[in-house]
């Protein structure tokens, strides 16, 4: 499948973001193809999380445009961005500790009551959530909290999913389930932008890839090309690691 | 049935259930088992403070908002009744006008403060509420033609709930069947109804959103909830319930003044009740209010009793002098916060949960 041929659902054009006195994003240009999984790679501090948070309006872009389905959403408040059917899974998970697993999912289902068929579908990937359905989310293990955080984004069909490092701290068997889950979401027509450090995981899930360094996208293309070209991998990912040391 | 009445939020601890049943039975039976004006006063105050503390917990414990203007709404409710009765006479129509006017004023003030200041950081919001409450208290003292100034207002209430009204000349189980008894049960029953209504609110989807905002406000926004709107609604609801508590208190006391409902001492009392009972558990307001008001009402008597037996012992005798009751009250609260950091209800529920076999 060609990334260039697919129409972008989300497109960032020259996006700059400042957090207090710090200039984090220096003109990010990024196109996320509709119905595909786009991986956003890069070393720590490259600006990946800031890019997702800027799209969500959690940090406002100081310059540039963020087009979602043709509409510029830069400057919208976070709830308004979320209401466009954009779900965000933060790296910190952000679960509601004092609420039960059921209540966490209930709050994420903003369009109506929980759909039991969809829940069963989610439980297929994340059986622990069914086991601890009425348990306070704060009592779950780290991996289970991560699953709950991802399940919250899956509980209703969304148009765009922004996921920040989903594989972090998860057991290999759960990561395999996640890969299947993301592919199932893609088959449903959901567009996914996934931030990841784990290149192995990224190569198994991604259709397209963008690599960030120092607040800019330094490479964008098809994931298969990056997998096949070890020199490119070394240059993009190795270069960043070297410069980080 | 019972679960529905309590909005599926049962005490979840046998000890807590027993404590709550004892408090409820005590409140209902007070006129007959402890006849006398003082015990009735303590009972009515417990009931009113359950509503006042629970409404504060709706804001502090469930939404994470720190406000110092809560007693302002309590005072507005009480002044609403007092001013309406003084200006229009002790009729039910005057009471209705007072209730509506007080609720309107509280709602407008709470909404105004929330919409203007809930966007700022929590500490600034707390400071703004402190300033507004201080200004309101000064205003209440200055507008003496309406409020009675520092002296407050003594007023009459409709005949049915005034002490002069008598249902029967005969006593029933040692209690006079008069308007005071009717007023007492009016306060207790309405307080109970308001408590159940708050329990329904915090256990509704709206209440769950409030808890989500308290837990992680960024995340709730990212799910599409407008935090400012929900926080403002929580603040307005808390103001409405505090106003209703003030209305009940005024109907019971037939007096209101700045020191009775508006003072910062009462704000501190409410904060203590919520913290001791357990934040984020409305039942905490019940346990805290009962404990606090009983201690406030009877600690001096207990000390008098103890002092009578040990007054000859140096230092110890002085320590147990009835005038030292505030020292013991403070010590009691320091100890309860030390041993129950999540409040009494939090501790009891955690204990019950630890004893319960967990699913694997």
Exposed, middle or buried, B213 (CB in 10 Å: 0-12/13-18/19+)? buried
Q: For residue A3, is it within any domain?
A: no
The pLDDT of residue B360 is above 50? no
A123 and A20 within one domain = no
H/E stretch holding A87: strand A86-89
Residue A109 has pLDDT above 70, yes or no: yes
**In the predicted model, what is the mean pLDDT of residues B38-60?**
97
Q: Structural domain of residue B100, as residue ranges?
A: 2-355
Range of the domain at A22: 8-85+157-244
Same domain, A164 and A116: no
Q: Do A198 and A233 share a domain, yes or no?
A: yes
* A111 in contact with chain B, both atoms CB, cutoff 8 A: no
Residue A218 lies in a domain: yes
Residue A2 lies in a domain: no
Q: What is the separation, in whole angstroms, between the first and last Cα of chain A?
A: 36
**Residue whose C-alpha is closest to residue B245's, from B94, B93, B102, B59:** B102
Outline where A28-163 has alpha helix (H).
48-56, 78-82, 101-108, 116-125, 127-131, 142-154
Chain B residue with minimum CA distance to A106? B205
Do A234 and A164 share a domain, yes or no? yes
Res A244 pLDDT > 70: no
B203, B222, B231, B281: best to mutate for the A interface, most A CBs within 10 A: B222
Directed axis angle between helix B227-253 and helix B179-202, to 10°?
170
What span, in angstroms and rounded, lies between the C-alpha atoms of A223 and A27? 23
Task: Answer with the one of A156, A172, A207 that is the final residue of a domain.
Answer: A156
Would you call A83 and B224 a contact, using CB atoms and an 8 Å cutoff? yes
Residue B28 maps to which CATH number? Answer: 1.10.3470
Considering CB atoms only, which of A56, A78, A96 is closest to B212?
A96
**Contact between chains at B359 and A97 (C-beta distance less than 8 A):** no
Given A156, A176, A202, the domain boundary residue is A156
| Average pLDDT, rounded, for chain A | 90
My answer on whether A177 and A77 are in the same domain is yes
Each residue's pLDDT tens digit, A163-199: 999 888 788 888 888 899 999 999 999 999 999 888 8
Domain-embedded: residue B81: yes
Looking at the structure, do residues A161 and A230 belong to the same domain, yes or no? yes
ipTM rounded to 2 decimals: 0.85
Contact B218 A58 (CB under 8 A): yes
Residue A17 is part of a domain; what is its CATH number? 3.40.50.300
Report the residue of chain B nearest A55, measured CA to CA: B222
- Using CA atoms, how far residue B19 sits from A2, A44, B54, in Å, is 68, 54, 17
For residues A3-7, average pLDDT = 60
Q: How many domains, in total, are found in chain B?
A: 1
Percent of chain A predicted with pLDDT > 90: 71
How far is the CA of A55 from the CAs of A78, A92, A154, B182, in angstroms? Answer: 9, 17, 19, 61
Same domain as A101, residue A70: no
Q: Is B222 on the interface with A (CB under 8 A)?
A: yes
Q: Are residues A28 and A114 in the same domain?
A: no
A226: in domain: yes
> What is the mean pLDDT of the segment spanning B263-286?
94
Q: Which residues of chain B does A78 touch, with a Cβ-Cβ cutoff of 8 Å?
A: 218, 221-222
Q: State whether A162 and A81 are in the same domain.
A: yes
Instruction: Name the DSSP class of A46.
Output: S
Residue B6 touches chain A, beta carbons under 8 Å: no
Among the candidates A125, A156, A187, a domain finishes at A156
Nearest Cα residue to A108 out of A91, A122, A87:
A87
Give me the number of domains chain A comprises: 2
pLDDT digits (tens, 9 = 90+) for B303-339: 888 888 887 788 888 888 888 888 888 888 888 888 8
Q: Is residue A144 domain-shared with residue A236, that is, in the same domain?
A: no
Q: B208–A107: do the CB atoms touch at under 8 Å?
A: yes
Residue B115: band (very low, low, confident or very high) from pLDDT cuts 50, 70, 90: confident
* Residues A110 and A204 grouped into a single domain: no
Q: What's the pLDDT at A229? A: 87
Region A28-46: mean pLDDT is 94
Q: Which residues of B touch A82 (CB under 8 A)?
A: 221-224
| Interface A-B: count of C-beta contacts within 8 A | 62
Q: Which of B15-24, B85-94, B345-354 has the lowest mean pLDDT?
A: B345-354
Say if residue B194 is exposed, middle or buried (CB neighbours under 10 Å; 0-12, 13-18, 19+). buried
């Amino acid at each position: 499948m060609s990334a260039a041929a697919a129409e972008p659902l989300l497109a960032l054009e020259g996006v700059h973001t400042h957090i207090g006195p710090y200039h984090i994003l220096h003109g990010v240009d990024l196109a996320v193809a509709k119905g595909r999984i786009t991986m956003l790679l890069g070393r720590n501090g490259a600006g990946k999380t800031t890019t997702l948070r800027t799209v969500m309006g959690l940090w406002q872009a100081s310059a540039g445009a963020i087009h979602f389905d043709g509409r510029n959403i830069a400057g919208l408040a976070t709830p308004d961005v979320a209401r466009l059917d954009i779900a965000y899974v933060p790296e910190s998970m952000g679960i509601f500790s004092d609420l039960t697993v059921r209540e966490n999912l209930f709050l994420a289902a903003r369009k109506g009551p929980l759909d039991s068929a969809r829940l069963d579908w989610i439980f297929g990937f994340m059986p622990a959530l069914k086991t601890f359905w009425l348990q306070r989310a704060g009592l779950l293990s780290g991996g289970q909290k991560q699953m709950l955080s991802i399940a919250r984004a899956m509980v209703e069909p969304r148009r765009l999913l922004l996921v920040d490092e989903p594989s972090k701290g998860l057991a290999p068997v759960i990561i395999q389930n996640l890969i299947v889950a993301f592919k199932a979401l893609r088959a449903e027509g959901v567009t996914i932008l996934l931030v990841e450090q784990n290149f192995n995981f990224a190569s198994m899930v991604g259709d397209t890839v963008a690599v960030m360094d120092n607040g800019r996208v330094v490479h964008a293309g098809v994931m298969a090309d990056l997998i096949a070209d070890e020199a490119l991998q070394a240059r993009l990912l190795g270069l960043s690691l070297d410069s980080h040391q | 049935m019972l679960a529905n009445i309590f909005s599926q939020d049962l005490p979840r601890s046998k000890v807590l259930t027993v404590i709550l049943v004892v408090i409820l039975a005590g409140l209902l039976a007070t006129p007959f088992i402890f006849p006398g004006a003082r015990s009735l006063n303590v009972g009515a105050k417990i009931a009113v403070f359950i509503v006042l503390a629970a409404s504060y917990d709706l804001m502090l414990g469930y939404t994470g908002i720190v406000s110092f203007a809560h007693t302002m709404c309590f005072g507005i409710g009480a002044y609403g009744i007092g001013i309406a009765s003084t200006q229009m006479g002790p009729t039910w129509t005057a009471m209705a006008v007072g209730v509506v006017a007080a609720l309107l004023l509280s709602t407008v003030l709470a909404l105004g403060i929330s919409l203007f200041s809930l966007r700022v950081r929590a500490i600034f919001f707390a400071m703004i509420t402190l300033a507004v409450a201080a200004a309101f208290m000064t205003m209440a003292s200055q507008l003496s033609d309406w409020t009675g100034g520092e002296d407050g207002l003594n007023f009459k209430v409709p005949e049915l709930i005034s002490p002069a009204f008598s249902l029967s000349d005969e006593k029933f189980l040692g209690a006079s069947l008069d308007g005071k008894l009717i007023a007492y049960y009016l306060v207790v029953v309405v307080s109970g109804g308001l408590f159940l209504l708050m329990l329904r609110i915090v256990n509704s989807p709206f209440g769950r959103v409030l808890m989500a905002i308290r837990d992680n406000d960024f995340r709730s926004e990212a799910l599409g909830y407008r935090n400012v709107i929900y926080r403002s609604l929580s603040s307005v609801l808390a103001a409405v319930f505090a106003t209703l508590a003030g209305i009940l208190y005024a109907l019971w006391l037939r007096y209101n003044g700045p020191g009775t409902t508006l003072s910062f001492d009462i704000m501190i009392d409410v904060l203590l009740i919520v913290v001791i009972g357990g934040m984020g558990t409305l039942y905490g307001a019940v346990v805290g209010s009962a404990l606090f008001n009983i201690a406030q009402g009877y600690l001096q008597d207990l000390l008098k009793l103890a002092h009578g037996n040990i007054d000859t012992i140096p230092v110890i005798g002085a320590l147990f002098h009835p005038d030292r009751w505030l020292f013991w009250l403070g010590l009691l609260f320091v100890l309860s916060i030390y041993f129950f950091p999540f409040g009494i209800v939090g501790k009891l529920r955690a204990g019950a949960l630890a004893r319960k076999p967990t699913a694997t």
